[in-house]
Structures are given as C-alpha cells and as structure tokens.
Amino acid sequence: MIFLNFYDKQETRNASVREVDLMAALPAQIANAQSNSSAFARILKGVDHTTINTRQALATLPVTRKHELLKQQEAARAVQPDQSSIFGGFNTQTFGSAMPRVFASPGPIYEPEGRRTDYWRMARAIYASGFRAGDLIHNCFSYHFVPAGSMMESGAHALGCSVFPGGTGQTEQQVQAIQHLQPSGYIGTPSFLKIIIEKAQELKRPLPPSFNKAMLGGEAFPPSLRDWLLAHGIAGYQCYATADLGLIAYETEAREGLVLDEGVILEIVRPGTGDPVPDGEVGEVVVTSLNPDYPLIRFGTGDLSAVLAGHCPTGRTNTRIKGWMGRADQTTKMRGMFVHPEQVDSVSKRFPEIKRARLVVSGEMANDHITLKVELNEVADGLIEKIADAAREITKLRVTVESCAVGSLPNDGIVIHDARSYQ
C-alpha cells in the first residue's frame, strides 16, 4: 500500500526550517506556561522565556515526569479542591466552553480537552495509516474515563471521516456492525483487532473487503502481529500518543521507525536525568508540547526510545524515533533500599572517565549481589575503589565495580538491571 501524498506541507518542510519554526514558537509557549499555569509559574520561576530559544537552552529547564504530575495533582487537590487543583495547576483553561471534556487516566491523572479542531493532533497519524475524507472508521478505543476514544474521533472528524464508536468489548456485536456498515478500517489496540477477526472466523461471518486498514496504538505492535493482520487483509500502522500530550509520532508505509508529529519538540534524555543523549542512544522520551491549553514543558513520558538517523523514505523530513522500547522508570529495591537511576547518574558524573554505567542486581531473593558495570575511557590506579566508595556513599549499599570495554554495555537505555531469580 503506497500513499503518494501528505497530510499537509509541514511534513515535507526543510528540516532546518522546521527547527527554526519550533525554536521561534518555544519562548512564547514558555511565557504562556509561566503566566497562565500556576504549576509552571513555580517550576520555571526566574526563567527568562526570551532566552529559551535553542535546544541547549531548553535542556537547562527541569524535567517534569508523569509520576510527579500525579503527585502535584494529588497535593493540590488535598489543599484546595478547585478547577485549577484538579489538574495540579498545569492547565491554562478552566471548565466551560474552552474545556468541553475532562478525562481520567490511571492514577488517577486528570486531563483537559480543549475545543480546538483536532485538539490531540491525531489526524496526521490517521492519514498516514491510509484513511481519507469520506471514510467510515470503526473506532474501538474506549470512550469512558480515558481520552483515547475522543482523541481518535476528533482526529477522524478533522480528516473528514465518519466514526462508528465501537468502544471495547461485545465482540459479536463488533463483527455484526462491521458487516453491516462496511467501514474502511479500524482504530484501536492491535490485540482487540485480532480478537475481532478471530471472532468473525469463529462465527463464519467474514469481514468485508472494505475493512482493510488500521491505525493501532495503546500497546506493543510486534512484526509477527503486523504480518498476521496483513495475511488477513488488513494493513496496520502504529501511532505513539499519550493521554497528556496527544500524538507524539506515527508510522508510515515505509515502516522504518516513527515520524515525529509537527506540534511537539522531542528530546531523548538519560533516564533519571534531564541530560540529552547523542542521537542513536536509547533514553527517555521527553516532550515539550506547543498546546497552549495544557503547556507541558519538558514532560518525561517514562518511555524509552532512540532517534533514527536520516529521513523517512516517504519524503517526510521530521525526525524519526525507533518507537517504544520499554520503560525508563527503573527504580529497584535491593537489600531493603530503593535505588534510582538518578543515583547511578550521580556516581557517573563524579568521574569523567566513566562513559556509560549500568547497575546490575543479581542472585536469589534475599541474597542480592550488586555490581556497577562501567565503561571507562582509562583506568588509573585506585579508580575502581574510588568509584565503589562513591556508589556506597550515594546508594548506602556495598557495590562491586566492574570495568568494561567502551561500547560493550548494551545500548538499550537500561541503567538499573534487575537480573534476580524469583523462583
């Protein structure tokens, strides 16, 4: 399946022009967050927004991670349960015509939805999956509590599509509706699409030929399932979105990574820190949204990914990432103490000789062996002992330090590896 055009001209902008445009929009978004969001007025206190106009300047700002957003919401509600505290002060709009919907993700974390057309910016990803104006889409994301169903529906409407709100469950009725309505395709999780196809086979009620495309999200979409869907006549493409940010990146027919959305600024940082890593190195996805209603600045998603070199073969010029590669929150309890990725990073920063570090806890339950594996540019006399002392000071645990060759540790974003046996 080849799509020869693009959703809009933004997708094929010269990359340097895009970067200039994003950096030009950044100071105004910083000022908006400081002036209209009580949370960012505190977080960014003293920051001169006019100076935040490069990626280097952006990297000096603190990262706000999802678990911190939850804590801020909980704390604000406990002190003063009002419209601002519900969102932890991160919102710039209040209930009414500017905020037609409010959602709740697990936590609960509450998210506002604004009134702008395609508020979550999903139309671009839906278009890249092959849907066009005039199509009917069978939407099997949930419409209750979480924003996923509304995210996809608003994007489909912006594209000029009609939507059947299938939601989740009731597989026999899903099959019946698809047979009767003959939609152009499906939006939802890949596993539920597989369940629908298998239910249709069980009922001996084949799905119509029109039902031949899908945009998928919410969980992993392995190549084996992609090929299984293709064998059943459906070309599935994945998107990467969150309830806080909306669309972050989307798959194209090239199937070489995910292309970034045009409305976000993405960084990949070393887990537990705010420090950007070199392109190609696995780290945590940190996103700055240009959404004026919910201006999340350096929002740590907790997801791992890496930047792919080069541009998409389709002609889209935005940065590509490898897709979801696991979770960055690797906080691990060992010998009764929690150890955080930030602590491993603190050890590394004390020694310029350390190129990369990885803390490995192994052994059986209640018999932990803790090893700090470090890639060293050079090994001076006494260096290993000094690193071990620093690790013990910072983690309050006795740690064995093992020197490794540069480049020998896996490039997977893992800072703390729990290799214990629990059998």
Q: Read out DSSP for 63-105?
A: PEEHHHHHHHHHHHHHH--SHHHHTTT--S--SBTTB-EEEEE
Question: Can you say how many angstroms the Cα of residue 359 is from the centroid of all Cα atoms in its chain?
Answer: 24
pLDDT by residue (tens digit) across 271-308? Answer: 889 999 999 999 999 999 999 999 999 999 988 999 99
pTM: 0.84
Kindly provide the residue ranges of all beta strands, DSSP E only, lying in 226-306, ordered along the sequence. Answer: 235-242, 246-251, 258-260, 264-269, 283-289, 299-305
Beta bridge partners of 296: none
Rounded Cα gap, residues 344 and 117, in angstroms? 44
Q: Read out DSSP for 41-56?
A: HHHTTT--GGG--SHH
Q: For 170-292, where are the alpha helices, taking DSSP H only?
A: 171-181, 190-203, 223-231
CB of 287 closer than 8 Å to CB of 58: no
Is 268's pLDDT higher than 80? yes
Rounded Cα gap, residues 288 and 290, in angstroms? 7
Is 421's pLDDT higher than 90? no
Is 60's pLDDT higher than 70? yes
Q: Is 204 left (phi over 0), alpha (psi -120 to 50) or beta?
A: left
Residues 330-359, mean pLDDT to the nearest whole number: 87
∠ at Cα 77 (73, 82), nearest 5°?
Answer: 110
CATH number of 332-418: 3.30.300.30
Answer with the residue of higher pLDDT: 311 or 338. Answer: 311
CB of 28 closer than 8 Å to CB of 251: no
Residues above pLDDT 70, as percent of the chain: 96
Residues 366-384, mean pLDDT to the nearest whole number: 89
Write down the pLDDT at residue 1: 45
Q: Mapping DSSP to helix (H, G, I), strand (E, B) and coil, where does residue 320 land? A: strand
Write down the pLDDT at residue 4: 54
Residues 226-250, mean pLDDT to the nearest whole number: 96
Residue 70's pLDDT band (boundaries 50, 70, 90)?
A: confident
Rounded Cα gap, residues 372 and 389, in angstroms? 12
Residues 73-99, mean pLDDT to the nearest whole number: 85
Is 2's pLDDT higher than 80? no
Write down the pLDDT at residue 187: 98
Residues 350-369, mean pLDDT to the nearest whole number: 86
Residues above pLDDT 90, as percent of the chain: 77
Q: Give me the count of residues in the chain.
A: 423
Write down the pLDDT at residue 106: 81
Rounded Cα gap, residues 388 and 212, in angstroms? 58
Is 258's pLDDT higher than 50? yes
Is 49's pLDDT higher than 50? yes
Question: Can you say how many angstroms the Cα of residue 70 is from the centroid of all Cα atoms in its chain?
Answer: 16
Residues 98-103, mean pLDDT to the nearest whole number: 93
Write down the pLDDT at residue 365: 53
**Percentages of the chain per state (helix, strand, coil), in multiples of 5:** 30, 25, 45
Q: Which tokens in the block code for residue 194?
A: 């597989």
Residues 94-107, mean pLDDT to the nearest whole number: 90
Write down the pLDDT at residue 85: 78
Contacts within 8 Å (CB) and 24+ apart, 304-310: 304/271, 304/328, 304/412, 304/413, 305/268, 306/268, 306/279, 306/280, 306/281, 306/282, 306/411, 306/413, 307/268, 307/279, 307/280, 308/256, 308/257, 308/280, 309/279, 309/280
Listed residue (287, 356, 233) closest to 65, CA to CA = 287
Rounded Cα gap, residues 84 and 87, in angstroms? 6
CB within 8 A of 132, min separation 6: which ones?
Answer: 159, 160, 161
Rounded Cα gap, residues 286 and 209, in angstroms? 40
Q: In the chain, where are the structural domains located? A: 332-418
Listed residue (179, 178, 198) closest to 187, CA to CA = 178
**Mean pLDDT score of the chain:** 92
Is 51's pLDDT higher than 60? yes
If you compute the radius of gyration of the chain from its CA atoms, what whole number of angstroms results?
A: 23
Rounded Cα gap, residues 114 and 135, in angstroms? 25
CB within 8 A of 288, min separation 6: which ones?
Answer: 26, 29, 58, 264, 265, 267, 296, 297, 298, 299
Is 330's pLDDT higher than 90? no
